[in-house]
Structure 1
Amino acid sequence: MEEKLIQLLKTQYGLDNVSLDFLREGGCKTYIVNGEKKYLLKVIGNAFKDTAKQSVMITGYLERKGFPVSRTILTTAGQAIVEISDDEPCLGLLQEFIEGEEPDLEKTESAEKVGELVGKLHSLMKDCPVQLVSRDKQFFIGRYLDFLRQKSYPKISDYEKFGEQLWEKVQGLPYGICHGDLHRGNLLQTKDGQIYFLDFDTVCQAPLMFDVMVMCDMTNYFNLQQEDIEITRKVYENFISGYTRHHPLSQEEKLSFYDWVAIRHFQLQATILEVHGINCIDEKFIDYQLYWLNQWMEQ
Structure 2
Amino acid sequence: MENLIKHMNKTYALDIGQMELHRELIGQVYILQSGQQQYVLKLLPPHKTADALHALNILDFLFQQEYPVVSVVRTREQMSHTLLPGDGRVAALFHYVEGADADGSLEAEAIGEQTARLHKLMERYPGTLLLRTKAEYIDDFISIMKQKDCEASAINDLVHYGNELWSRITLLPKSFCHGDLHTGNMIKQDGNYILLDFDDASGDYPSMDAAYLSDVTHFNQFHASLYDATMRQFERFYKGYSRVRILSDGECSAVSDWIAVRHYQITARIVGCQGLGSVSLRFFEEQHRWLMEWRELCVRRN
Per the shorter chain, which TM-score range?
over 0.9
| Greater alpha carbon shift after TM alignment, 211-220 vs 275-284 | 275-284
Letter in 2 for 1:71: S
CA RMSD of aligned residues (A): 1.6
Q: Is the 8 A contact 1:48 1:202 kept in 2?
A: no
Give 1:227 deviation, angstroms: 4.7
TM-score, structure 2 as length reference: 0.92
Counterpart CA distance in 2 for 1:134 and 1:52 is 14
Match for residue 128 of structure 1?
125
Please point out which of 148, 151, 157 is paired with 1:151: 148
- Work out whether 1:26 is the aligned partner of 2:25: yes
Match for residue 115 of structure 2?
118
Match for residue 72 of structure 1?
72
Cα deviations across residues 12-62 of structure 1 (Å, max 9, x unaligned)? 113225211221122221111122211111111235222111211111101
Counterpart CA distance in 2 for 1:83 and 1:172 is 39
Please point out which of 247, 250, 261 is paired with 1:249: 247
TM-score, structure 1 as length reference: 0.93
Give 1:84 deviation, angstroms: 0.8
Match for residue 44 of structure 2?
44
Q: Percent identity between the aligned chains?
A: 29
Letter in 1 for 2:281: E
Counterpart CA distance in 1 for 2:103 and 2:16 is 36
Match for residue 82 of structure 1?
82
Match for residue 275 of structure 1?
273
Q: For structure 2, which runs of at least 5 residues remain unmatched after alignment?
A: 298-302
Q: For structure 1, which runs of at least 5 residues remain unmatched after alignment?
A: none
- Work out whether 1:186 is the aligned partner of 2:165: no
Q: Is the 8 A contact 1:136 1:206 kept in 2?
A: no
Letter in 1 for 2:274: H
Counterpart CA distance in 2 for 1:17 and 1:246 is 42
Counterpart CA distance in 1 for 2:276 and 2:202 is 24
Describe how 1:81-230 pairs up with structure 2 within 5 A.
81-86=81-86, 88-107=87-106, 110-154=107-151, 155-190=154-189, 192-230=190-228
Counterpart CA distance in 1 for 2:43 and 2:17 is 17
Give 1:133 deviation, angstroms: 2.3
Q: Is the 8 A contact 2:179 2:209 kept in 1?
A: yes
Q: Is the 8 A contact 1:140 1:266 kept in 2?
A: yes
Q: Is the 8 A contact 1:144 1:270 kept in 2?
A: yes
Counterpart CA distance in 2 for 1:17 and 1:130 is 33
How many aligned positions are there? Answer: 294
